[in-house]
A = this chain, B = another copy of it.
Amino acid sequence: MHFKYVVAIVRADVLGELEAMFGSLHVRGITVTKVMGFGEYTDFFSSNHLTEHIKVEIFVEESKAEAITNAIMDAAHSDVPGAGIVAVMPVETFLHIRTRSETLPDGA
């Protein structure tokens, strides 16, 4: 199995919509971090230009990466600057610590 590392930087207020979407796509886990940014990731023109966004990180099977990327864009889309970005990066090894393998028990 091949995995991809999907990273999105989005406005903090889209987290709820992202979580609902990940549930419907059977994403098994996500990581969320509060980040600060400037430029397109936030509002370049605000006086407090280091405003708060969230970084969402997901390790997914390669076959799901494009669907998840599209779903993130749907959930976080906005026509104003600061909507954020999404990126897909290669992963060489991915292991669940509980099973010491790429997979989890069925239904777990």
Q: How many residues of A contact B (CB 8 A)?
A: 57
* A95 adjacent to B91 (CB under 8 Å): no
Mostly helix, strand, loop or mixed at chain A's interface? strand
CA A69 – CA B77 in complex, angstroms? Answer: 30
Q: Which residue of B lies closest to A34 (CB)?
A: B33
| Chain B residues, Cβ within 8 Å of A35 | 31-33, 57
7 tightest CB-CB pairs across the interface, nearest first?
Answer: A29-B39, A88-B93, A29-B41, A83-B98, A83-B97, A29-B40, A31-B37
Task: Answer yes or no: A89 CB below 8 A from chain B CBs.
Answer: yes
Q: Residues 64-108 of chain A: 1 if any B CB is under 8 Å from the residue's CB, otherwise 0?
A: 000001001100111111011111111111111110100010001
Task: Report B-chain residues with C-beta under 8 Å of the C-beta of A80.
Answer: 98
Verify B5–A31 contact, CB threshold 8 A: no
